[in-house]
Amino acid sequence: MENYYLAIDIGASSGRHILGWMENGKMRIEEIYRFENHLEDKDGELCWDIERLFAEVVKGIRKCGELNRIPKSIGIDTWGVDFILLDKDNKMLGDAVGYRDSRTKGMDKKVYEIISEKDLYKRNGIQKMLINTIYHLYSVKLNKPELLEKAEHFLMIPEYLNYRLTGIMKNEYTNATTTQLVNAESCDWDWELMDMLGLPRRIFGKLHMPKESVGMLKPDIAKEVGFSSEVVLPATHDTGSAVLSVPTNDEEAIYISSGTWSLMGIERLIPDCTEVSRIHNFTNEGGYHYRYRYLKNIMGLWMMQSIRKEFPHKYTFEELFTLAYIGRYFKSIVDVTDICFLAPKSMKQAVQEYCRKTDQPEPQTECELLFCVYNSLAKCYGDVVNEIEKVTENNYENIYVVGGGCQDRFLNRLTALYTKKNIYAGPVEATAIGNLTAQMLKADEFSDLAHARRVIAKSFAVKKVNDDEFCFED
C-alpha cells in the first residue's frame, strides 16, 4: 500500500492540490483539485481573499477523502513576501495586502534614511525589490501604526493557512528570507535591524526548517475533510520548493524556475553579500538545509500573461508561438525588470510607452508585441548568465528550466539562442514536486537530496531543447 503525500501549491493566479507517491522507484503525481486565485481591489488596496483561499485549501484536502487516498502528510507552499498580522486573540488585523500593491512606493527611501542600501545588503544579501516585505511593513508602520501596535503575530501566507489547519503557528525559514529581515550569516531574524526600523520583535516567531512538522489537522478540520493527517513544512516559498526539484546534482548548472516570475540562478552553500553582488542585484534567498538560492527575480511570463488577456481573441499557446515567430523582424527591447511592468493597467501600453521613452519603435501588432516581450525576456536571461559567470568567476554549460514556463518552446529556443547553453526543460510541476520531496525526505522515502534529485530525473520528462525548433537566422 502506497504512502500518499499532498502538495498544496498556490500561485498568484491559481492553486492546485497534487498527490504524490513512490511506485517502482519513481515518484508519481496526480492533480486532484485546482482553483483560481487573483488579487482584488479592496478599499484602494490590492488584496488576497484569504478566506476564500482557505476554503479552497480545505475543499482540496476533502477531495483526498472522497478518493480514499489519505495523505500521510500535507504541505503548503505559496509565493513569498506577503504576510498577515494577528492580534492577541489571533484575529486578523487589516487585510492580506498583496505584493503588487503600490503602498511601498517611496518606502525604500524612507528605509535608507535609517540604514543605507549598501549596509542593508551586507546584512541579508537580498535583492532590492519594492515588493519585499520590509517595505510593506515599513509602510504599515508609517501609515497604519495602530496595526503594528495591536499585532502579536506575523505569519506569511502559507504559515497562516497552516495555522488555520492545525491551530499551530510556525514561521518557516525559506519564506522568511524573502522579507529582507533575516540575517544571511546567522540564518535567523535580524533583531538589530528590526530595532533600527522600529518593528516589534514580539511578532516574529522562531524560524523552522523544511521537513519539520507543524502538527495534526485540528479536530474540526479533520471532521470536515473526513480524516486526520500531519501538516509538514516544505520549503513554503514556492521558488524554494521549485529549486528542490531541479533534476540534476550538477553543481555547475544554472536553473530557471519559470512561471509568473522567472527566478534564475544557482545553488550555493555560502551567501555572497559583497558589494559586487549587490551592484549586480543578486539575491541570497534561503533554501533547503541552509543552502542559498543565489538568483535574480525577473518579471517572467507575467508580462506575456497580461498581454494575452488584452487580445480580443483567446489564442492557444501554439498560436501565440506562431504569432511571435512572425514578429521576429521587430527589434525593440524592453527591460523586463523595470517596475513599470509590475502592475500596469495595460501591459500593452506599458510596453509601448517604454519603447517610446527609450526612442525605439513601438510595437503595434500582436506579432510585434509578443516577439518584443519574448525577445526581451530571453535577452535578460542571457545577460543574467553573463553576470552569474562574472560574479562567480565560473562557466556553466547547462540551464535547467523547471515549472510551468518550461513548456514554452518558443521562449526555450530564444533562451538557447541568447545564452549559448544547453537548455533542459522539465519537470512542469516543479514546485509541487519540490514540496512533495521535502515531505518524502521527512518520511525517509529518500536518503538525502541527491537521492531525491536522481529519482526526480528519472520520474519526469526532461527534454533538451532542439536547436532547429525555431530558426531565427533570417
Catalytic residues: 238
Amino acid at 378: A
Going by C-alpha positions, the residue among 243, 248, 256 that lies closest to residue 286 is 243
CA 144 to chain centre: 27
Count the alpha carbons within 13 Å of 446 in the hemisphere toward its beta carbon: 23
**Hey, how many other C-beta atoms are within 10 angstroms of the C-beta on 368?**
24
Burial of 395 (0-12, 13-18, 19+ CB in 10 A): exposed
Query: CA 242 to CA 430: how far, in whole Å?
Result: 5
HSE of 425, CA atoms in CB hemisphere, 13 A = 18
What DSSP designation does 282 have? -
What is the rounded distance in angstroms from the CA atom of residue 64 to the CA atom of residue 32? 8
3-state secondary structure of 17: strand
**3-state percent breakdown (helix, strand, coil) of the chain, nearest 5:** 45, 20, 35
What is the residue-wise DSSP string for 22-64?
EETTEEEEEEEEEEE---EEETTEEEE-HHHHHHHHHHHHHHH
Alpha-helical segments (H) within 151-247: 157-166, 173-176, 191-197, 219-225, 238-244
Dist CA 124 CA 183 (whole Å): 5
213-216 vs 153-156, strand pairing mode:
unpaired
Separation of alpha carbons 255 and 243, rounded Å:
8
What does the block give as the cell for 465? Answer: 531543447
Choose among 264, 258, 298: nearest CA to 411: 258
* C-alpha R_g of the chain: 22
